[in-house]
């Protein structure tokens, strides 16, 4: 299958900065939308300066901005405002993650923009959402993760709870905004309402939704659901249940295994005695479910992920040869899309 | 008008947008099922996906979560349960089993159908004739055969465990529970000298389920607008999370080594962020991801002198001196009780927040104001709290908890045009088992 991208012709304006709205816009671009990212004149998106660089090229920024067109507008000046409104008037989707109130103060609130362009779908992502007593508060991903209940459900019970080690709340909020945009476009164009909608995502809400059993379990058990180590999904590791165990192999690679109740397997000893492929083979021979714990390097060395298109190789004139994430789902004709925002002259 | 009760048109008009009027007024099995459960409806509950019928052919959390998101926004999701019921009813220990199905199958209809029964074809044929999407987690041969026979088959959306598609490249376990380990997320989570950790949430499955729901809707829309069949979509369960971690591959390629877990610090130690204990034992998360917030944080704990300290001025400076910065924050936290610390961070516009558990979340006024949890009646009596509809702004509602096996068999079959006598015969032969 090599199907045409489904969002061909859909125009998206992104007024976003680290991390949720830019992530949402990059997903829409990978479904074929034409994304124009609007940046402030004073240095633009802070994502330009985050994380590791290669030959001076900020890698995260160049992945997060691939397939977008970038414009800088001063929204406090008349010319910049007019240009922004011209973009929004022609747009199907506006993505933004400013603190609630900022868009209204700029004159770009939902009511104003929707009155100009009734077909507009606007997705606003903020720390605590557009309504409720905490709406004006600043919110970053880590605060949202802690607020969602998910951190309390991560880590060993005797230790300080853990944040998942990447921008989980931001990325989940970006994905939830994309889902909201998909539903809103469906209503507009398939149900045929002809009208847009204002999608409102609080950074913590997608994770609260994903941790779907936490409140009910707390009610049922009479005590808050608590972290129990690595127990994905719900309930692994409870007495008499299967559990997920991890161990470090002789070559430094980690494995995760599902141990049945009553298992007497010494996973640590088995792993410590051999390299990861041998340890995994031994576990498979013993009928134990186990798999490698992949990291950023092993993902690009394992042929499975390259074969699926999850890992693609790209060349940048300045940053050099890199591995970057492929777009999902696979099977679309993405021949016109970029793997990496080019940073310099073409590579030799 | 009760738009969400609308069943879909049985075929998509070529190149035309289906009007709301056309979508409403056809068979309304969801209404009948809802009314049978004593519920009332109104248009505010319609949701943007009214008229979309989805078959859930899955016993695992990924497709079930994606389908639940669709059902929350008004899609008519029919869980086709094999004899014995969906495997999702039997996952986890007893306490989890009591709550997971009511939540995971909320807003859905249960059809108890043995798809492998030799006489099942008429039921399957009519189902794939009205459904616009089928979400599955395995090969589902009878369903795919029925779809192949149909003149207007539903879109095929397949979520499968990592490695199941390429066994020659993946000799390891294909247990869905290990998808998080394949995404890179697990290697990034945990203390820097400790083991990799998974959260106690089926995060990989749910993230991929959400991505699949969005992708399927985009494809449905394009297919309707262009008057063509919706393309099939396939997802390995690690792919939702893996796509989220945008930097892990290029950073590893550039460094020649993977960036790994570092406790509660930011990945790549990008700026000030960690968990600290207050004087009264509370745990607070600090997040100063931008220069402006980092500066306000330093000013709050150490005045202008600290904010202007050349060792902490830029992001690179702070990364190089993170241990020292964290020691200063820890000392400040240790001098303040939780409530006092939170008041000060609010006054100083610094970004710090509490680590809440579900009990605290349920008591939080902001969560309540945004209907973060809703109380949903159970078919057998009583009720459970479950997350409200997300995202906001689109309507939708939580109308009912996960149904008993076959609770909607009669209503679904009736809407497909089966007469009561035919339904009774299907039960007698075992095609319909509840």
Q: DSSP class of residue A187?
A: I
Determine the pLDDT at residue A231: 64
Mean pLDDT computed over B417-430: 98
For residues A67 and A25, membership in a common domain is answered with yes
Tens-digit pLDDT profile for residues B232-258: 999 999 999 999 999 999 999 999 999
State how far the Cα of A219 lies from the Cα of A238, in Å rounded to an integer.
17
Residue pair A50/A43 in contact by the 8 Å Cβ criterion? no
Q: How many domains, in total, are found in chain A?
A: 2
Model pLDDT for residues B192-217, shown as the tens digit of each residue:
999 999 999 999 999 999 999 999 99
Alpha-carbon distance A319 to nearest alpha carbon in chain B (angstroms): 8
Nearest CA in chain B to A134: B366
Query: Could you tell me if A135 and A250 lie in one domain?
Result: no
Q: Do B356 and A147 touch (CB under 8 A)?
A: yes
Q: Indicate the pLDDT class of residue A309, thresholds 50, 70 and 90.
A: very high
Is A42 tagged catalytic? no
Let me know whether A165 and A277 are in one domain.
Answer: no
* Among candidate residues A293, A308, A334, the one where a domain is terminated: A293
A314 found inside a domain: no
Q: Which residue of B has its CA nearest to A162?
A: B264
Is it the case that residue B20 has pLDDT exceeding 80?
no
Confidence grade of residue A129 (pLDDT, cut at 50, 70, 90): very high
Same domain membership, residue A254 and residue A175: no
With CA atoms as reference, the chain B residue closest to A180 would be B391
Residue contact B199–A226, C-beta within 8 A: no
Q: Is residue A105 pLDDT above 50, yes or no?
A: yes
pLDDT more than 90, % of chain B: 83
**What is the pLDDT, as a whole number, of residue A236?**
66
Q: Give the pLDDT score at B108.
A: 98
Domains observed in chain B = 3-243+369-429 (3.40.50.10540), 267-355 (3.30.1540.10)
Give A151-169 pLDDT, tens digit per residue: 999 998 888 999 999 999 9
Helix, strand, or coil here: B405? coil
The answer to the question of residue A251 being in a domain is: yes
Query: Residue A172 maps to which CATH number?
Result: 3.40.50.10540
pLDDT at B14 over 50: no
Say whether pLDDT at B2 is over 60: no
Q: In which band, very low, low, confident or very high, does the pLDDT at B6 lie, cut at 50, 70 and 90?
A: very low
Indicate the average pLDDT of chain A.
94
Which 176-215 residues of chain B touch chain A by CB within 8 A? Answer: 177-178, 180-191, 195-207, 210-215
Hey, are the CB atoms on B247 and A212 less than 8 Å from each other?
Answer: no
Residue B21's pLDDT is 32
Top mean-pLDDT range of A130-144, B186-200, B268-282, B416-430: B416-430
What number is the average pLDDT over the span A246-275?
95
CB-CB: which of A54, A186, A332 is closest to B217?
Answer: A186
Q: Is the pLDDT of residue B22 over 70?
A: no
The verdict on residue A80 lying in a domain is: yes
Q: Which residues of B touch A4 (CB under 8 A)?
A: 222
Task: Chain A: give the shortest CA distance to residue B386, in Å.
Answer: 6
Question: Cβ of A133 and B359 within 8 Å?
Answer: no
* pLDDT surpassing 70 at residue A25: yes
Query: Is the same domain home to A184 and A119?
Result: yes
In a domain, A167, yes or no: yes
- ipTM computed for the complex: 0.97
Are A234 and B386 in contact (CB < 8 Å)?
A: no
> Do both A39 and A147 map to the same domain?
yes
Do residues A70 and A188 share a domain?
A: yes
- Which pLDDT score, from 0 to 100, does residue A221 have? 87
pLDDT, mean of residues A198-203: 98
Q: What local confidence, expressed as pLDDT, does residue A224 receive?
A: 76
A109 lies in some domain: yes
Give the helix/strand (H/E) hosting A60: helix A59-64
Chain B residue with minimal CA distance to A188? Answer: B48
Q: Give chain B's radius of gyration (CA, Å).
A: 26
How many beta-carbon pairs under 8 angstroms link A with B?
537
pLDDT in tens, B365-395: 999 999 999 999 999 999 999 999 999 999 9
Selected residue with higher pLDDT from A335 and B65:
B65
Q: What pLDDT is stored for residue A158 in this prediction?
A: 85
Domain match, A96 and A193 both: yes
Judge whether A79 lies within some domain: yes
Interface of B with A in 85-114 (CB under 8 A): 91-93, 95-96, 98-100, 102-104
Q: In terms of domains, do A43 and A192 share one?
A: yes
What is the pLDDT at residue B19? 34
Confidence check: pLDDT of B39 > 90: no
Burial class (CB in 10 A: 0-12, 13-18, 19+), B417: exposed
Task: Give A84→chain B minimum CA distance, Å.
Answer: 24
| CB-based contact A8 B222, cutoff 8 Å | yes
Q: Is the pLDDT of residue A133 over 80?
A: yes
Q: Are residues A28 and A167 in the same domain?
A: yes
Same-domain pairing of A134 and A281: no
B373-377/B352-354 β-pairing: unpaired
Q: How far is A87 from chain B (nearest CA, A)?
A: 22
Q: What integer pLDDT is reported at residue B35 of this predicted model?
A: 40
Closest CA to A18 of A178, A170, A201, A180: A170
Return all residues near B85 (Cβ < 8 A) that are at least 6 apart.
B112, B405
Residue tagged active-site, from A170, A200, A316, A339: A170
**Does residue B413 register a pLDDT over 80?**
yes
Q: Do the beta carbons of residue A314 and residue A304 sit within 8 Å?
A: no
- Residue B15: pLDDT over 70: no
The answer to whether residue A277 sits within a structural domain is yes
The region of weakest confidence among A5-9, B21-25, B84-88, B229-233 is B21-25
Indicate if A267 and A200 belong to the same structural domain: no
**3-state helix/strand/coil string of A189-213:** HHHCCCCCCEEEEECCHHHHHHCCC
Q: How far is it, in rounded angstroms, from Cα B129 to Cα A166? A: 43
Pairing label, strands A311-316, A289-292: unpaired
A48-72 average pLDDT score: 95
Q: Is A173 domain-assigned?
A: yes
Residues of A within 8 A of B270 (CB-CB) are: 50-51
* Domain containing residue A158: 11-210
């Amino acid at each position: 299958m090599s199907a045409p991208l489904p969002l061909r012709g859909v125009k998206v304006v992104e007024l976003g900065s680290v991390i949720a709205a830019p992530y949402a816009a990059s997903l829409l671009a990978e479904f074929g939308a034409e994304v124009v990212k609007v940046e402030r004149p004073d240095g633009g998106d802070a994502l330009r300066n985050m994380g590791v660089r290669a030959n001076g090229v900020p890698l995260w920024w160049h992945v997060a901005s691939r397939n977008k067109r970038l414009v800088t507008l001063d929204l406090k000046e008349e010319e910049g405002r007019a240009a922004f409104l011209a973009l929004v008037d022609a747009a199907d989707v506006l993505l933004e993650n400013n603190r609630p109130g900022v868009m209204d103060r700029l004159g770009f609130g939902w009511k104003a923009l929707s009155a100009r362009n009734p077909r507009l779908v606007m997705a606003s992502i903020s720390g605590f959402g557009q309504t409720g007593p905490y709406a004006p508060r600043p919110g970053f991903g880590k605060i949202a993760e802690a607020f969602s209940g998910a951190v309390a459900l991560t880590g060993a019970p005797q230790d300080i709870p853990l944040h998942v080690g990447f921008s989980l709340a931001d990325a989940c909020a970006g994905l939830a905004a994309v889902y909201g945009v998909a539903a809103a476009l469906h209503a507009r164009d398939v149900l045929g309402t002809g009208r847009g909608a204002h999608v409102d995502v609080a950074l913590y809400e997608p994770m609260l939704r994903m941790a779907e059993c936490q409140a009910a379990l707390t009610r049922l058990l009479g005590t808050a659901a608590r972290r129990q180590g690595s127990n994905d999904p719900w309930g692994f590791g409870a007495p008499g249940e299967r559990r997920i165990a991890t161990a470090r192999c002789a070559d430094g690679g980690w494995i995760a295994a599902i141990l049945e109740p009553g298992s007497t397997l010494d996973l640590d000893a088995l792993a410590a005695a051999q390299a990861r492929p041998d340890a995994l083979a031994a576990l498979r021979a013993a009928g134990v479910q186990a798999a490698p714990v992949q990291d950023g390097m092993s993902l690009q060395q394992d042929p499975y992920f390259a074969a699926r298109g999850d890992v693609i190789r790209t060349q940048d004139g300045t940053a050099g040869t890199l591995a970057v994430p492929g777009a999902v789902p696979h099977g679309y004709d993405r021949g016109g899309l970029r793997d990496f925002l080019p940073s310099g002259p073409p590579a030799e | 008008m009760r738009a969400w009760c609308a069943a879909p048109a049985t075929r998509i008009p070529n190149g035309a947008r289906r009007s709301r009027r056309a979508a409403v007024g056809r068979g309304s099995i969801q209404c009948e099922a809802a009314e049978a459960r004593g519920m009332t409806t109104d248009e505010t509950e319609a949701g943007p996906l009214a008229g979309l019928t989805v078959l859930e052919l899955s016993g695992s959390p990924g497709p079930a979560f994606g389908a639940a998101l669709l059902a929350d926004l008004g899609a008519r999701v029919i869980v086709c349960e094999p004899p014995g019921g969906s495997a999702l009813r039997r996952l986890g220990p007893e306490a989890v089993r009591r709550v997971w199905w009511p939540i995971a199958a909320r807003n859905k209809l249960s059809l108890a159908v043995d798809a492998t029964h030799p006489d099942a074809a008429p039921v399957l044929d009519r189902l794939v004739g009205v459904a616009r999407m089928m979400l599955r987690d395995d090969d589902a041969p009878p369903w795919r055969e029925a779809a192949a026979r149909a003149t207007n088959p539903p879109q095929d959306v397949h979520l499968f465990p990592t490695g199941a598609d390429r066994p020659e490249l993946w000799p390891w376990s294909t247990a869905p529970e290990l998808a998080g380990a394949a995404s890179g997320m697990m290697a990034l989570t945990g203390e820097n000298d400790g083991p990799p950790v998974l959260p106690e949430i089926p995060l990989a499955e749910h993230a991929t389920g959400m991505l699949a729901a969005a992708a399927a809707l985009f494809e449905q829309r394009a297919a309707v607008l262009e008057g063509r069949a919706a393309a099939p979509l396939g997802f390995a369960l690690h792919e939702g999370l893996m796509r989220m971690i945008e930097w892990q591959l290029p950073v590893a390629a550039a460094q020649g080594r993977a960036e790994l877990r570092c406790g509660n610090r930011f990945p790549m130690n990008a700026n000030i962020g960690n968990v600290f204990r207050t004087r009264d034992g509370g745990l607070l998360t600090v997040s100063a991801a931008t220069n402006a917030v980092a500066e306000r944080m330093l000013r709050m704990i150490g005045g202008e002198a600290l904010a202007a300290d050349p060792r902490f001025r830029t992001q690179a400076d702070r990364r190089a001196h993170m241990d020292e910065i964290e020691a200063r924050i820890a000392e400040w936290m240790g001098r303040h009780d939780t409530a006092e610390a939170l008041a000060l961070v609010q006054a100083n516009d610094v970004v710090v927040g509490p680590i809440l558990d579900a009990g605290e979340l349920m008591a939080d006024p902001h969560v309540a104001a945004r209907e973060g949890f809703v109380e949903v009646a159970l078919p057998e009596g009583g009720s459970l709290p479950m997350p409200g509809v997300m995202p906001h702004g689109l309507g939708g509602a939580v109308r009912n908890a996960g149904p008993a096996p076959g609770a909607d068999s009669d209503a679904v079959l009736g809407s497909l045009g089966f007469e009561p006598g035919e339904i009774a015969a299907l039960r007698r032969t075992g095609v319909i088992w509840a």
